[in-house]
Structure 1
């Protein structure tokens, strides 16, 4: 092999070099010259091993895999498809006997008959040894001297810090004056996006900068690689911070060693001369004080950033004289401290004023302060215990009544129920109004509550929703400001203590309910092949509902579906089909858990976790109870059954454990808050900032207003904001629609422009190609109706309500036809997935993805 032939002489020379090194180490430690024979006796074992070590390492590392395989094949080895490690092992084994170099023989020939040469080697080794020891001694003394000098220099720098600072101050002042006069100012929207071209803005205006820290944020126009504490390499647009930091470092790296050398005591300089026979130099001082200089730069540069730009510009033309600059600095420092004290006092004044304004705006708005002569009846109990039925019975007996529902579907259900039972009732939600002539009862969503309207009886359903961070304040407002003789509050057991505390000294009657039909958890894990009539299968996404319904229908089961984005009218029809026995199974999300009383035999949890908008998490005890409570119906199923697909013991504990009482309720801005805000400010941007700063009172949590703020940012500074009152604009921002749907936010914005320009409202976009488009069209019409009712266009609203019902009917029909398409498949390869597969990709694609990711990324670091 050509490679072996080439490296063999190199290995021989390397071996000889190591032998010479070993001889020198051996000889330098001997007081007298040992014989060559003694050396051989002592080092024979090492000399015999040295060649094989050198040769194996060199041949293994320098010879390619291809040549190794060729070498082995020539010796009748079969190496095709053999692992690289095994090839290396076989090759190394062959190299052990490949043209061995006889080290002992070479050493004997070199020194065995050459006594003079052996003596010369001894003298040379001892000489080198003495030199190394002397060098070590000098280095040790030098290190001690450096340490002593650093201690003295540290004290000098501490004592003379101000003088060094004055030198740097003058240096920076001159540099600043030159940069502001000669350099160009640049701008970029994203300093990290190097592909974005910098925009020159002309010359600098000194009055734009208060401190040097402000100026240091400006871009120089160059690109640099900044230091990175985690390592790695990246580039960004350079700012003057890094330029001046470098300049100050270079300046002090020359100034400090020079001044330290001048200020060092004479005896320290003399001591250096005595020990090392040469004068102390600036270069040596600089090299010895690297760390000290670096620290000094940090301290001085930090102080420089606090300097006023105006002070340094005045200083730049004054010739440097230590006493003169010291006097100027003291004057500037006192002036700066005075200004900073004034600024701090102004900030404190503004802070106190802001706190006063905040107190006036928000004040006691969120203290219930119940002063009205209202009787409260709490209906407390588990799901499906008749709480709502008994409260509605009291409302029916009253001369006027108001029912407040958490969902439009429930408001619609009560509206139908009361009218069917002979109690005339109107319906009001944000998206529809059905006014029945002569009706004194109204069923509406909780957001439609208005405190100025009087009713003999008000019923507030699902009051535990008061804890919801975004909608909870609607319940709080209804409970604390209901204008009625009697208010019936329906809630879960864990909301009882909060309700009692919230109502204070009011007249309260508590009615507690228990289930007539007990819940029983099945011992065996559920499988889809065991689905039976009366089952409600629960999962937590629309997609999974449709996929599972498709699977069940293809297996011959008749299925109803319920999910959050389903139109309420469609949901009602799906429920009715199950109620009448036309379908035997329901597949639903947790939307089934609120207010729907159905003849369900068994609730089956297909998942124990749900995505809450941030992460996947285990269901809470209250969520399990709310959903499981729908199982069992008195007179139909005397026992409500509950089944799980996994972790039965854990989920059973959640179902039957005692809930922790809720401790906080949600608050949100009210009309009166907005009215008081307008005494001081006139833009919603400031309002959102104040709301963020406002500290929520004890026992409360603020609504995040994230969606409203995001919507506001789309129209902030536009004519929409300019031409609408703050109260009206906030009302439009607060419209209850899916603000995470881009199509709906665009529709909202287009409608807002139509309103301020006095044009007809744009018609909502309607598309009907598939189920998703129909559901989005339904929402678009709903948003249009929100605007129509808010603007009082009731006649036009009737047309769109009828059209929305038609869309709802089409959704119902599409569910029948499109459901067959929703087969659970791997989104990568299209392979059909099991009904209980938890992920969107099959195991094979997932493993391949991870393997590819590892193969591609493992060499990145």
Structure 2
């Protein structure tokens, strides 16, 4: 330790001497007369006394380790154990203060007493350096002052002469454009094309399909900048006042060269070039290219610019007036077409009976019971399966009832009752009783208008409306001053939330496991089947006939468990003992979100079928407290019902146009009444884009075409969209409808084939081809049977494996590399290329896919 301190001690002495010399140098610099050595010591003693201690402590305290400090203090007899680090540092610092100090004043005496010549030389050196620095600073200030004055001068010149610069750059640009347009054979569609539109990457010119890239604007911006930087300095030199040149020479002792002038003005001309480019964007290309034939002369081009600007102002005013007239015409059209179409009726001479209650309370049963006793009636269902259930129920009870859904029609002789999906409702048909089920769907942005139309346009003695509690107030407001009876229903079978978190191994007879995608339903069912469970399945894209058979197996006890999407919550009455939520969130078509309180209640309410169970049970796999709260909390009332185009709206639109593109544009512009939600018509627009401006649109009326756009099929399937278009082409060309595409190699292909036949039947029903429809109905039924058998015999979901070790991955595992391979950073070879499993966290990706892309 002592050797180390000696080393630090010697460094501190060296540093002390350096600091003393620096202080002498700074002291001399400000003294116009040579001070004596004694005078220096008197004035600087206080500072000099501090130099050694600061240099010594700084070179030791901060460099000696904590353990070395403790060792040193211990050797000096200090008790160091259990003492804080802060106290140790203070003790060490105090101990070093007593270390042998360096006598700085003795060293200074040795350096300068009786050495006047050395003292004089140090003074001379310091003063010369100081005076030279002062002179350099003064010169820099003169140069800075000149530069600021010069910048102000040239900025003022450019500001005053901006038009002159603009005219010259305009001339150069016009000449370049004229040459480019002639060489490339570009045909301008109209003389009113601006330079900005000319540069637009979406703007296409000429028969040769010449199209500009988005780099063209950058290209011309660069050209204009280079032009002005090239000629600008010479132009500026002619504009500068004479005193600038003399001031520059006086400041720098040489003439202002072109090179220096270009350096000084560079930034200014870059900024000006961008301003010029922005102004040129508004010019008409036709005005620019004519300049190539006019020699550049300031006054001539100034007059041309004024004339062009005046004409441009006239044209812009004309365009503004045209836009104003167009907006006024649009507003008039929108008011005439949509007007008061969506205002709720003030009151109608109809008896409305509102059946309000929770799921599984018998409200639908009471409404149907009343309909059965009437001479005529219609049941409007949210799902084809429910329409089919009521159709079969009435016919079994000896009440002739026909069926009509988007994909199926069954006519029963002498039937005065009809069961159909709500979209099939015809407002002109009269019935003694109309039953509208699941009316809370009124608020659904996509389908809600069908319920709005049924409720407000019903033509009957009695209209029975079935809904949840949160829709009650909205429906009462919609009905206005009509005659209304309200019947409220409460569950007689209580619901009980299980406190234990559900695991798949807890599955028991009578359970319904709910998730929110077809894939998850199939995976879960496959897991249960491998463990010996007999399982029924329900999901949205399943054929209704298959769904009915799956339900019947559960009802008959052939299966003990049902795995379903939230389709189970829509009016399906099953002997369910317990509802289990395998998931708490769903994708609603736009984003993934948590379930709402009403969705949780709607689904959970299917547990505990009255007459079978005394209690219904509900279980959750996670977020137990949140889900329980959603189940128990009071729902907020629904706000706003959905509106969509009506027949009368389309009829009024036809007075203005036969182009549905304009109709969709006006619909988007239309401001829907307060308290309503406007349907997006996204599916109709998607289909319309496929046939816009085609022979299909030309030959079909607006109403016919819109009805075809509105057909209820899976528009998210590209192959079905293409088949839809091909069938429309056959209709307008007068040829036979192409047969649906049928493939049967797997479950997905069978389901798609079922949808393909369903789409074909939609067209056959519209064309009144009943005989042909019967044939395809049998084909569809056969496909439904095959789908049911596939599900019945067991679902095999393709297993995902680790791309490194090829071992199976757990269900719903997020990554393509298993945890073991990831942690061990193992490597494997696939397709002759090494794959390293060093993927981290959430950013893991498929290296197999990456190699393939390479």
Q: TM-score range by the shorter chain?
A: 0.7 to 0.9
CA deviations over 1:47-72 (Å, ceiling 9, x no partner):
xxxxxxxxxxxxxxxxxxxxxxxxxx
Q: Alpha-carbon deviation of 1:480? A: 1.1
Instruction: Tell me if 1:350 matches 2:326.
Output: yes
Among 737, 762, 774, which residue is 1:786 paired with? 762
- Higher mean C-alpha displacement, 22-31 vs 325-334: 22-31
Find the residue that maps to 2:293 and give its secondary structure: coil
CA deviations over 1:73-124 (Å, ceiling 9, x no partner):
xxxxxxxxxxxxxxxxxxxxxxxxxxxxxxxxxxxxxxxxxxx9xx999999
Matches within 5 A, 1:542-581: 542-581=518-557
Q: Partner of 1:163 in structure 2? A: 164
Change (3 A) 1:538 1:240: closer
Find the residue that maps to 2:686 and give its secondary structure: helix
Verify the 8 A CA contact 1:459 1:487 in the aligned structure 2.
yes
Between the aligned partners of 1:758 and 1:174, the Cα distance in structure 2 is 57
Between the aligned partners of 1:724 and 1:827, the Cα distance in structure 2 is 54
Between the aligned partners of 1:620 and 1:218, the Cα distance in structure 2 is 45
Q: Partner of 1:307 in structure 2? A: 283
Q: Partner of 1:504 in structure 2? A: 480
CA deviations over 1:223-242 (Å, ceiling 9, x no partner):
xxxxxxxxxxxxx9465433
CA deviations over 1:634-678 (Å, ceiling 9, x no partner):
222222111101111111111111212121222222222222222
Matches within 5 A, 1:712-731: 712-731=688-707
CA deviations over 1:252-290 (Å, ceiling 9, x no partner):
224544454444444444433332223334443432233
CA deviations over 1:150-202 (Å, ceiling 9, x no partner):
22333333333223322322332333333333x31xxxxxxxxxxxxxxxxx3
Q: Partner of 2:751 in structure 1? A: 775
Q: Partner of 2:404 in structure 1? A: 428
Q: Alpha-carbon deviation of 1:442? A: 0.3
Instruction: Tell me if 1:215 matches 2:198.
Output: yes
Among 377, 382, 386, which residue is 1:401 paired with? 377
Verify the 8 A CA contact 1:457 1:487 in the aligned structure 2.
yes
Between the aligned partners of 1:121 and 1:748, the Cα distance in structure 2 is 101
Between the aligned partners of 1:281 and 1:562, the Cα distance in structure 2 is 87
Q: Partner of 2:513 in structure 1? A: 537
- Higher mean C-alpha displacement, 347-356 vs 607-616: 607-616
Matches within 5 A, 1:473-512: 473-512=449-488
Find the structure with the greater CA-based Rg: 2
TM-score, L = length of structure 1? 0.78
What is the CA RMSD across the aligned residues, in angstroms? 3.8
Change (3 A) 1:122 1:548: farther
Q: Alpha-carbon deviation of 1:604? A: 0.5
Q: Partner of 2:367 in structure 1? A: 391
Verify the 8 A CA contact 2:815 2:844 in the aligned structure 1.
no
Change (3 A) 1:640 1:168: same
Q: Alpha-carbon deviation of 1:844? A: 5.2
Q: Alpha-carbon deviation of 1:337? A: 0.8
Verify the 8 A CA contact 1:560 1:575 in the aligned structure 2.
yes
- Higher mean C-alpha displacement, 432-441 vs 21-30: 21-30
Instruction: Tell me if 1:647 matches 2:623.
Output: yes
Among 371, 379, 387, which residue is 1:411 paired with? 387
Change (3 A) 1:704 1:285: same
Q: Partner of 1:195 in structure 2? A: none
Q: Partner of 2:797 in structure 1? A: 822
Q: Alpha-carbon deviation of 1:367? A: 1.7
Verify the 8 A CA contact 1:27 1:126 in the aligned structure 2.
no
Q: Alpha-carbon deviation of 1:811? A: 1.3
- Higher mean C-alpha displacement, 645-654 vs 330-339: 330-339
Instruction: Tell me if 1:144 matches 2:145.
Output: yes
Between the aligned partners of 1:257 and 1:220, the Cα distance in structure 2 is 36
Q: Alpha-carbon deviation of 1:500? A: 1.3
Verify the 8 A CA contact 2:802 2:809 in the aligned structure 1.
no
Matches within 5 A, 1:144-543: 144-181=145-182, 183-184=183-184, 202-205=185-188, 207=190, 210-217=193-200, 237=213, 239-369=215-345, 372-543=348-519
Verify the 8 A CA contact 1:427 1:443 in the aligned structure 2.
yes
Change (3 A) 1:690 1:735: same
Q: Alpha-carbon deviation of 1:700? A: 1.9
Verify the 8 A CA contact 1:428 1:445 in the aligned structure 2.
yes
Find the residue that maps to 1:456 and give its secondary structure: strand
Verify the 8 A CA contact 1:562 1:587 in the aligned structure 2.
yes
Verify the 8 A CA contact 1:395 1:458 in the aligned structure 2.
yes
Matched residue count: 738
TM-score, L = length of structure 2? 0.79
Find the residue that maps to 1:763 and give its secondary structure: coil
Among 725, 729, 749, which residue is 1:753 paired with? 729
Verify the 8 A CA contact 1:778 1:804 in the aligned structure 2.
yes
Structure 1 regions of 5+ residues with no counterpart?
Answer: 1-20, 34-41, 47-115, 185-201, 222-235
Change (3 A) 1:745 1:291: same
Change (3 A) 1:351 1:206: closer
Change (3 A) 1:145 1:810: same
Between the aligned partners of 1:830 and 1:362, the Cα distance in structure 2 is 61
Change (3 A) 1:734 1:417: same
Verify the 8 A CA contact 1:206 1:309 in the aligned structure 2.
no
Verify the 8 A CA contact 1:401 1:442 in the aligned structure 2.
yes
Between the aligned partners of 1:705 and 1:811, the Cα distance in structure 2 is 32
Q: Partner of 1:850 in structure 2? A: 839
Between the aligned partners of 2:251 and 2:814, the Cα distance in structure 1 is 78
CA deviations over 1:197-225 (Å, ceiling 9, x no partner):
xxxxx34548555222222337999xxxx
Q: Alpha-carbon deviation of 1:740? A: 1.3
Change (3 A) 1:832 1:624: farther
Between the aligned partners of 1:204 and 1:802, the Cα distance in structure 2 is 59
Q: Partner of 1:37 in structure 2? A: none
Q: Partner of 1:71 in structure 2? A: none
Verify the 8 A CA contact 1:823 1:832 in the aligned structure 2.
no
